[in-house]
Amino acid sequence: MIAMLQKQGAQLMLNRTRNDERTAMQPVLKKGYVAGIVKKTLQFSILFLLAGLFTINSAYSQEKEKEKQEKERKKQEKEKKKQEKDEDKKKTSNRILYGTASFYANSFHGKKTANGEIFDQKKMTAACNVLPLGTWIRVTNLRNKKSVLVKTNDRLHTKMKRVVDLSRAAASKLGYINAGLTRVKVEVLGKKKPAQ
């Protein structure tokens, strides 16, 4: 009987242990499930964070590339302007032109010139197609040797074959108002206003 009781006790203990193990296993399974979710969430978060960093880095790189391209474009524009300025200096320095001069009709008074100024018949200005705007020139009437200093601020009509078209004030000083046209010598003086 003692042996039987011992056997039953051992069986009870074994069943209890198995029940305890099952019960103990359930939280472990739950913990494992939770741990798996946490692990996957953590992995996803890390991937999301890395993707965000990559996107930020990519955007930063693109912004830097745009800045670099803009800087290069401005540098090229600056070099181009410098070359044009140097070419203008070469074109305008110590250059002499010969040809026919006319003067503006009164209908142009008060209208805009090619460089944006308002044309005034009383100012010493000229229109010329071959010189850069803003160039100072000395125009000499070859018939009477009178000369005037004028600034180019406008363009002639493209079909016009004249060298310059002067304001009425400049044409008057050269003495060809009545004739309307005259042969002239045009000395190119440059962009700075020379002393008379």
pLDDT at 161: 85
| DSSP string over 131-142 | S-TT-EEEEEET
Rg, Å, the chain Cα set: 47
pLDDT at 41: 72
The domain ranges of the chain are 1-92, 95-190
C-beta of residue 138 within 8 angstroms of C-beta of residue 94? no
Compute the average pLDDT of residues 179-196.
88
Q: Is pLDDT of 2 > 70?
A: no
pLDDT-based confidence at 40, cuts 50/70/90?
A: low
pLDDT-based confidence at 25, cuts 50/70/90?
A: very low
Q: Is pLDDT of 103 > 80?
A: yes
CA distance 94 to 116: 27
As a CATH number, domain 95-190 is 2.40.40.10
pLDDT-based confidence at 159, cuts 50/70/90?
A: confident
Ramachandran quadrant class, 28 (left: phi over 0; alpha: psi -120 to 50; beta: rest) = alpha
CA distance 54 to 62: 12
